[in-house]
Each structure stands twice: as structure tokens, then as C-alpha cells.
Amino acid sequence: MTTISHDESRTMVEPPAPPRPGAGEPRPYHFPAFESRTLSNGLRVIVAPVTKLPVVSVVAIVDAGAGTEPPERDGLASLTAKALLEGTTTRDGAALIEEAERLGGALDADADWDAATIKLTVLSERIAPALRLIGDVLRTPSFPEHEIERLKAERQAELLQLRAEPRGLADEMIERFVFSPNARYARPEGGSAASVDALRRAHVDAFYAARYQPDAITLIVVGNVTTSEIEGLAENVFGGWTGHAATASDAVLDTAAGDPPAIRIIRKPDAPQSEIRVGHAGLPRGHRDYFPVLIMNAILGGLFSSRINLNLREVHAYTYGAHSSYDWRRGAGPFAVNTAVQSNVTDAALREILLEITRIRADAVEPTELSLATSYLDGVFPIRYETASAIANALANLVIYGLPTDYYDQYRANVRAVTAVDVLTAARTHLDPARLQVVVVGDPEAVRGPLEGLGAGPVLVYDDTGKPL
Amino acid sequence: MSGLQWGVKGGYIGIMRIPIDTFRLPNGLFVTLSEDHTAPLVAVNLWYHVGSANERPGRTGFAHLFEHMLFQGSKNVGANEHFELIQRAGGTLNGSTWLDRTNYFETVPSNQLALALWLEADRMGRLLPAMTQVKLDTQRDVVKNERRWSIDNQPYGTCWERLQELAFPPTHPFHHSLIGSMEDLSAASLDDVARFFATYYTPDNAVLSIAGDFDPREARRLVTEYFGPIPRGGGVPPLPEMSVTPTFGTAPRMVVPDDVRLPRLFIAARTPTFGSEGSYVATVTAAILGLKNGSRLYRRLVRETQIAADATAGTFDLSKGTDLLMVDVTARPGIAAETLEAAVTAELDRLVRDGVTADEVERAVALLETEYVASLQSADTRADKLSMFATYFGNPALVNDQVDRYRAVTANAVSAFARERLGPDNRAQLLYVPQETQAAAA
């Protein structure tokens, strides 16, 4: 047992408190300087020398995201990106991975909605062989059939696992129901079991030939390097490559669902918690209201001290955490509130979420709420870019979303300029209670009755593949 | 002006020196300082040498629940105000609880260093006046929901709890659940909070690290002013015996039917404690087995035979009693648990029988080296590692030795280690299989 007598004496001699300190004089910060140059074949090279430690991060982005897939080829963008690492004309996939890892870097390739990306971080001494490797991967992939079949099987395993993973399942289902069935965003980024099954090597070859061309590629290098060194290497590796990317498909990405609001329970018998998602289609990354919406969301559910988190977690203790977010994409990605609550408070938690969405549209936010959100996003800016890979990803976003070159120099001023009126306007313009769809992954026996009692729309029950029950 | 120093030679880092300055306050608080002025930000990191291992019987999960209470205010700080003040200052923050330590950390713009230190000092010195039954009840429910979210309602979510049960004997401080049982969480009282605070949250049981853009004289002055008046504690009760036999001697095995779609096998081996020479050999061995896609298990089981959907291995870096090397392999759809188990076992047997090549060691060390150096780009990681090495070994300068320690590992050492520690007498197996009711209910 512990010796209590001594311990108690300590708590009684409470040390005097020095006064709460104020802030000192802030020191200036500038987002790392970078240079952008386009090679004669159209391939763009962006270099940001950062000399803090001897590391370098490379991010190569290709305009070959899931948003550019041909119709009925869901999952092709991700499959093609991953297949890049399965071998080149001079070595097989195992040898390729071995080569990268002996350089100390784990090659990573995948595609999201807006781009295919190849990433590698190595010690800066090893940048030359690392860039040559990335060059080979982009220019001379061999796409062996058996490896493509393997990657398809891995995606099928992932989809199967998702059926039993409430968080991922809830994320997938809310997107299915906030978008129109013909919108690409209504279907999983990496493809469904059926669409992936139908993919063939010939589709990969054709997608690669159409999209992976020098004028659709940007090479971003950040770290302990010089601009001239990297530009020389890039010219060497990519210079002789010619070709033009085809026009991307004009697939419908983001049409919002036309259905009236409904509560959809995805059946998970005996679930101890309900995974809740509440959302609707949001707005594209390039929208002029980006900053007001960013601040509005921070106050609503973006920060720890946001309305939704303080309400659900700290006042009601319904959950470990509750958040809201906009998924920023080229098209209008989803806005969603997400939380997991004990099953017996599912209806109560949902009521509070809906109330908070209504409330932020009703009245201007308090000055202290606004200043918390703006001073946080303003102040945390330098902390976000401590690493070479974070800086490289930020530069990638400039290219992917067509943001101005001085975007990061203006970011903090743009955040600070948002007013309470802007926030209210953003909430009224971009949040719409009449369009909110609700997904609950949970136990219908426990939550169906109470949710019907809410009067927030019909309550429907589905299985874990989204089939109505 | 001092800062990070490094040089590169022949493809390797010749020197990499995180600058380190240390001092100790009369009340026992150990402080490490590490300057880097490349960006106007500073990380503050506190390690308290207490974790779930220090919990008394019937109070599993208390160390972590207590961590939540540290965000509920102190004498001069309101509930959740710590979060708000740091975020308003433009900072990030959190805390985490582990088997034998609890850490609290914030990264703030460098002109806000005083605020971060003052907040940490207020809760180290004056927590109890802010504690109420309502706050405890709320955080208890939050933590119960954290348990449901991260463990009970997640496929394979109980794996770490089960591994603790398998790998450590019932009387061992690492045997019981870190997040705790619902029953024990319900039993926690304000009296427990007061006792735990008085016993463990004392300056002489803590390490404070500051990394980034600060003036060392000013930092010393602030630390002395804010933390200096906090009285030393009465000594921490010693942990029960931590040492265990180097191998299990038997083959502990647990099969868990769960709401999962694919079988998943975890195999844990007892390995030398973190910081010992053998621990670096163990980490390199784990990397050869299961770090990234070029590792043995991934190549063989995911790429070639396609028995597995994923395969990884690593060590936990436990510094007391024993460390664990853990292999984690998930079956492909259609692959039976027995097939998976046989394939993983065959790979371990092959490693024990044939050892490894120098090339394999080189790949593993190169990856570990890049990962380590890249992680040090963040001030919060530097501060956390300084606190860790100071807490566990009284020597924060070990932060600068890690790459050399990995590089000193040879193929012979790995092969010998595999023979000693990865044989059938040192494999605790935890196997998750899809439960039958899934099909029955459909």
C-alpha cells in the first residue's frame, strides 16, 4: 500500500501560483521559399531547399486521380498507381522495392480522388538514386498481369474487412447516401467488389497511356538539396520523355442526393456503440468561401473546443470525441459530422448534433469563439510545416487545386480576415438541415425505436453492404 | 546560436547532434533543453514516470483516466481551459498513457513558451482544488466510450489486452489492461485521484523537456519560477518484480472468435529490454521480418504465396522486465487460420534455422535510420525522445546514439538472436478467427 501520511502533507502545502503569463513578441515566419520550373516536355519541377536535417522528401503527383477514371472503371486510378511499383522493364516488383528500401525509403504509390501520388523520403545523400528510381517507376512500368491480379485481390480483402469495421463502414455509407447514385463520389474511391473484379490489365495500360504523361506530372522535392541539383537531376531523369495527357473524362463527380433526409441504420447486431455520420454534399476546394467555411467548421466541430465536441463529450459524456469536417476535393466533397456514442444515447446525441447545426445558422458566433478559431489556425500554421514531407504535401495541393503561388504567404491573413458575419453567412449558405442525411452503424434493436421518436425523417435499416433489409 | 548539427559522409550521416543541455531543480525536477531556431515554435514535453503498471488491484485503467483529469483544470485553470488556451495561442497539445509512463505535451509559437510552462506547472502543483465528482463522472464516461470505440467495437480491438495477458504472468504489472475494465473504471473515486496525484505527479518523478526556438536563459528562469516552488514528493512505491524468464518456455496460445472477416495471427516473443544492446538486434530482426514491403514476411506471404493480406513486425521498446517482438499477419480471404499459422511458423523456423544475410540487415538499418532521422524534424518528437531517454536511463544524450546503435548490428548478431529468442519456446500466439454467429444470424 502507499504511504498516505506523507502524501497528504504534500497536498496541504500548496505552492503559491505565479501570475498567468502573457504572450511575448511573436517572431516572423515564412513558408519555405520554393522554385517552380517546367521542363520542355511540360513536366513541372518544384524545389524547396530546407536544411534543418539531412533528409529529403519527394512527392510526384500525376493528374490521374479517381476523378479522372473512365465510366464504369471505379478503382482503376488506385490500381494503376499501385501497379507502378510492381515492376519496370528492367526489374521485377520485388527487386524494385528492395532497391528503394536499401536507400532507406519506403516507396508509396496510390491515388485519391484528385491525383495519383508517389512518395519517398530518404537521407539527402541518396536523392540521386531515389529520383532515378521514381523516374523508372513513372516512365517504364511493366504492369505484370499476375501482380495486377494480386493487387485486385488485396483490394477485395480490404473491402471485406471494411464490412466489420464500423468507422470505415460509416464513412463509406454516408458518402453513398449524400450523393446521387450516378455521382462518382457516391461510390468508394478505390472501387467496389464488382468494379474491381472487372478491371483488367488492358484497362491499366490504357489509363496509364492516357494519364501518365509528362505534362500531367509535377515532381516536388523538399529538403536538404539545392534547386540546381534537383533541376539537373530531373532534366536527366525525365527530359527525354515526350507525350501529352489525354483530356480527362468528364464524369459526374459530385451531384448531391435528391432524396429527402432519412436516418439509415447499417445493421451491426449487439454493437456497444453507434457510429454516427450526419452530412450532405459540401463545396469544392476552389470555392471562394473556403476561408469562412473553414472557420465556421472549426467553431462547429473542427476544434477540440468546438461546439459539437464540448456538447457531446464534455457536457453529456456521450462520446470520446465528436467532430465535423469538409472533405476538400476538386468537386464538392462531403461535409460530415462524425462521432461514436454509447448505443442507448444514439437518439439524444443525434438530436444535439442537429441542434448545433441549426444553432450555428441562427445567430452570429461569439467573439471568443471566432477569435479561438482564427488565432488557432493562424498560430498553428508554422507547426504544420515542420517536416519536409508536410511541406511537399502542401506544395502538391497548390498544384492539384490550382491555388495561387503566394497562397501560403497569404494564408494567415486570409484566416484572420474572417468575421462573425462571414461565418454566419457561410453557415447559412453551406449548411442545410433540410438536406442532412444520417447514417448510424449500430444495433437496430437498440436504436431504431428511439431514432423513430426523433422525427428527423424515416428510419431505414440496411445490411453491411448497403442492401435494404 | 546553437542548433541541430549534422554532416553527411559517403551516403551516411557522419554526425547528427541534437544539442542538449540539462539541469535539475532542487525539488528533483529534471529538465532537458534542446535549441533549434529554424522555425518560431517550441515544444514542451513532460513525462511522469507512472503508467498502468503502477495501478493498484481493482483500479485498472486509472492511470489513463487520471490523464483525462489533468485536462479538467487546476487551481488557476478552468475545466478544458488548458486546451482552449493552448489552441488560442496557436498550439497543439495532447497527452498519452502507456504501461510505465504518462506524457503531456504541447507545441506552441515560441512567444508562448511561458504559457505552456505555466499551465503544466499549475497542474503539477495545484491540481486537486479543481477536482470535483462531476468532472470525474464525466471523464469516466468519456473513457468508457473511448474503450468502446477503440477496443470493444473495433475488429481485433482487444488484441493488445489479450497479448498483455498472454505475454506477462498474472502478477506482473504489465499483465492487466491499460485502458481498464468497465468495472474498475466505475470504482475509481476522487480519493483515488488525490492519492495518485500526491504519489506520482511530483517533480522528482517527472522529466520536463523543451525543444525548439527559445532563449535558454529565459527558459531556465521560467522553469525555475513556475516549477521551483512545487514540493518534492514522498517517493514512489517500487514496482513489483518486473523481470521474467528470457523466453516463455512454453507456447502460450489463445484463440479468439470475434466479429471479424479474416483470421489474424499475432505472435509475440520476449526480447531484451529497450536500451540494451540486444534490443537493437531485436528491432533490426523485426524490421527484417516485417518492416515495409521488402521484408521477409511481406515478400513471402503477401507477394509470393499470397496467403496474407498484410504482414508486419516490430518491437514495443519496453524498458522494464522484457520487451516484446510482435509479428502481425492477416489472412487473405479464403485462407484458413491453420494455413496462415503454418506459413508464419515456417518463416520463423526458417529464420531460426538459416539466419539472415548482411544485405537484409543493411535494408532494415537503412529504413530504421531514415525513419528515425525524419522523425526528429518535429520539435515535439525531439522533446518526447529527450524525455524518454531521461526518464528511462537518466541520459537524454542517448537521443544522439540511436543511429549508431542500429548500424552496429551485424548479420551474425541477428542470426544468433533469432536462435535464442524466436524458437518455438518463445512464441505466444494470439489468433483471431471469424465467429460462427455471423453466418448464423444472416
Using a CB-CB cut-off of 8 Å, the residues of chain B touching A167 are: 154
Q: Nearest residue of A to residue B126 by CA position?
A: A14
Q: Is residue A322 scored above 80 in pLDDT?
A: yes
3-state secondary structure of B260: coil
Query: CA of B149 to nearest chain A CA: how many angstroms apart?
Result: 7
Cβ distance B292 to A14 less than 8 Å, yes or no, reads no
Residues of B in contact with A381 (CB under 8 A): 90
Q: What is the mean pLDDT of residues A348-373?
A: 98
Q: Report the C-alpha gap between B102 and B55 in whole angstroms.
A: 13
| Cross-sheet strand order for the sheet of A116-123 | A35-38, A44-49, A217-223, A55-62, A116-123, A108-111
Domain covering A263-462, topology: Cytochrome Bc1 Complex; Chain A, domain 1 (3.30.830)
Q: Do A371 and B88 touch (CB under 8 A)?
A: yes
Looking at the structure, do residues B257 and B194 belong to the same domain, yes or no?
A: no
Q: Locate the chain A residue with the closest alpha carbon to B229.
A: A15
CB contact under 8 A, B374 and A341: no
Contacts of B112 in chain A (CB under 8 A): 23-24, 379
B39 and B117 inside one domain = yes
Cell numbers at residue A306, please?
A: 468546438
Q: Give chain B positions within 8 Å (CB) of A378.
A: 90
Cell of B180: 481498464
Q: Rounded to whole angstroms, how far apart are CA atoms B229 and B79?
A: 23
Three-state SS string over A95-155 comes to HHHHHHHHCCCCCEEEECCCCEEEEEEEEHHHHHHHHHHHHHHHHCECCCHHHHHHHHHHH
B348: in domain = yes
A14 confidence band (pLDDT: 50, 70, 90) = confident
How far, in Å, CA of A267 to CA of A147, rounded?
A: 35
- In this complex, the residue of B56, B88, B299 whose CB is nearest that of residue A376 is B88
Closest CA–CA distance from residue A161 to any residue of chain B (Å): 6
Task: Give the nearest partner residue to B370 out of A123, A273, A320, using CB atoms.
Answer: A123
Distance CA B215, CA A66 (A): 49
Q: What residues in A contact B58, CB-CB < 8 Å? A: none
Q: Is the pLDDT score of A94 beyond 90?
A: yes
CB contact under 8 A, A53 and B137: no
Confidence at residue B15, expressed as pLDDT on a 0 to 100 scale = 63
How close does chain B come to A127, measured CA to CA in Å? Answer: 10
Domain ranges for chain A, please list them.
35-238, 263-462
> What Å distances lie between residue A307 and A296, A321, A356, B41, CA to CA?
11, 12, 7, 28
Average pLDDT over residues A90-97: 96
Question: Looking at CA atoms only, how far is residue B332 from chain A in angstroms?
Answer: 6
Q: Nine-digit cell at A189?
A: 474511391
Tell me: do B262 and B208 sit in the same domain. Answer: no
Domain shared by B44 and B181, yes or no? yes
Q: Do B87 and A165 touch (CB under 8 A)?
A: no
Contacts of A317 in chain B (CB under 8 A): 137-142, 145
- Comparing CA positions, the residue from A208, A300, A278 lying closest to residue A457 is A278
Query: Which amino acid is residue A401, in one-letter code?
Result: Y
Domain range for B348: 253-441
CB contact under 8 A, B8 and A54: yes
Tell me B149's DSSP state: I
Q: What are phi and psi of B253, to 5 degrees?
A: -150, 140
Identify which of B11, B41, B333 has the shortest CB distance to residue A125: B11
Q: Do B109 and A379 touch (CB under 8 A)?
A: yes
For residue B194, give every residue at least 6 positions away whose Cβ sits within 8 Å of its Cβ, in sequence order, or none. A11, B128, B131
Whether residues B274 and B387 share a domain: the answer is yes
Per the domain annotation, does B233 fall within a domain? no
Residues of chain B positioned with their CB less than 8 A from the CB of A106: 292-293, 367
Q: What is the ipTM of this complex?
A: 0.95
**How far is residue A400's CA from residue A116's CA, in Å, rounded to a whole number?**
10
**Cβ pair B234:A272 closer than 8 A:** no
Interface test with A, best of B37, B59, B75, B142 (most A CBs within 10 A): B142
B231: chain A residues, CB-CB within 8 Å: 10, 13, 15
For residue B436, the model assigns a pLDDT of 78
Instruction: State the cell numbers at A150.
Output: 494480386
Give the Cα separation of B61 and A11 in Å (integer): 23
Cα–Cα distance measured from residue B59 to residue B324, given in angstroms and rounded to the nearest whole number = 25
In a mutagenesis test of the A interface, which of B111, B131, B145, B329 is the best target, namely the one with the most A β-carbons within 10 Å?
B145
Identify the domain boundary among B192, B227, B262.
B227
Place A13 in a pLDDT band, splitting at 50, 70 and 90: low
Beta-bridged to residue B366, according to DSSP, are none
Is B240 contained in some domain? Answer: no
Q: What angle in degrees, to the nearest 10, is found between the helix axes of A407-416 and A388-400?
A: 90
B114 close to B42: Cβ distance less than 8 angstroms: no
Indicate the residue of B83, B92, B114 with minimum beta-carbon distance to A24: B114
B199/A7 CB distance under 8 A: yes
Which cell numbers hold the place of B217? Answer: 536563459
* The pLDDT of residue B437: 54
Q: Are residues B267 and B326 in the same domain?
A: yes
Q: State the pLDDT at residue B101.
A: 97
For residue B27, give the CATH number of its domain. Answer: 3.30.830.10
Tell me if B242 is assigned to some domain. Answer: no
Contacts of A182 (CB under 8 A, 6+ apart): A252, A255
Q: At which residue does the C-alpha cell 516552488 appear?
A: B229
Q: What is the predicted pLDDT for the residue at B1?
A: 44
Query: B227, B244, B266 — which closes off a domain?
Result: B227
Alpha-carbon distance of B219 to A19, in angstroms, equals 16
Name every chain B residue with its beta carbon within 8 A of the beta carbon of A392.
none
CATH superfamily, region A35-238 = Metalloenzyme, LuxS/M16 peptidase-like (3.30.830.10)
Q: Report how far residue B2's alpha carbon sits from residue B141's, in angstroms, rounded to the nearest whole number.
A: 47
At A16 the three-state DSSP class reads: coil
Report how far residue B130's alpha carbon sits from residue B135's, in angstroms, rounded to the nearest whole number: 9
CB-nearest partner of A161 from B6, B261, B293: B261
How far is CA B253 from its chain centroid?
24
B159 belongs to a structural domain: yes
* Cα R_g (chain B), whole angstroms: 23
Number of domain units in chain B: 2
Q: Out of B141, B369, B379, name the one closest to residue A386 (CB).
A: B379
Judged by DSSP in three states, B212 sits in strand
Indicate the residue of B128, B148, B333 with minimum beta-carbon distance to A157.
B333
Q: Where are the alpha helices (DSSP H) in A163-200?
A: 166-178, 193-197
CB contact under 8 A, A317 and B260: no
Are the Cβ atoms of B6 and A102 closer than 8 angstroms? Answer: no
Does a structural domain hold residue B247?
Answer: no
Q: What is the CA radius of gyration of chain A?
A: 25
Cβ within 8 Å, pair B89-A23? yes
Q: Residue A2 in 3-state DSSP? A: coil
Check whether A9 has a pLDDT greater than 70.
no
CA atoms within 13 A on the CB side of A225: 32
Give domain status of residue B244, yes or no.
no
Quick one: average pLDDT of A200-213? 98
Establish, for the pair of chains A and B, how many residue pairs have beta carbons separated by less than 8 Å: 275
Mean pLDDT of A431-450: 97
In a domain, B239, yes or no: no
Nearest chain A residue to B8, by CA? A125
CB atoms within 10 A of CB A289: 14
Do residues B316 and B415 share a domain? yes
Nearest-Cα distance to chain A for B139, in Å, is 7
State the cell numbers at B169. 504472468
pLDDT tens, N- to C-terminus, chain B (442 residues): 457 776 655 445 556 789 999 999 999 999 999 999 999 999 999 999 999 999 999 999 999 999 999 999 999 999 999 999 999 999 999 999 999 999 999 999 999 999 999 999 999 999 999 999 999 999 999 999 999 999 999 999 999 999 999 999 999 999 999 999 999 999 999 999 999 999 999 999 999 999 999 999 999 999 999 999 999 999 999 999 999 999 999 889 999 999 999 999 999 999 999 999 999 999 999 999 999 999 999 999 999 999 999 999 999 999 999 999 999 999 999 999 999 999 999 999 999 999 999 999 999 999 999 999 999 999 999 999 999 999 999 999 999 999 999 999 999 999 999 999 999 999 999 999 999 754 443 3
Q: In chain B, which residue's Cα lies nearest the Cα of A148?
A: B303
SS3 at position A406: coil
Q: What is the mean pLDDT of chain A?
A: 95
- Rounded CA-CA distance B108/B283 in Å is 33
Q: What is the pLDDT of residues A126-166, one digit of tens each?
A: 999 999 999 999 999 999 999 999 999 999 999 999 999 99
Distance from CA of B262 to the nearest CA of A (A): 7
Taking the CA of residue B294 and the nearest CA in chain A, the distance in Å comes to 5
Q: How far is A338 from A320, CA to CA, in rounded Å?
A: 11
Give the whole-angstrom CA distance, residue A278 versus residue A301: 12
Determine contact, residues A52/B6, Cβ cutoff 8 Å: no
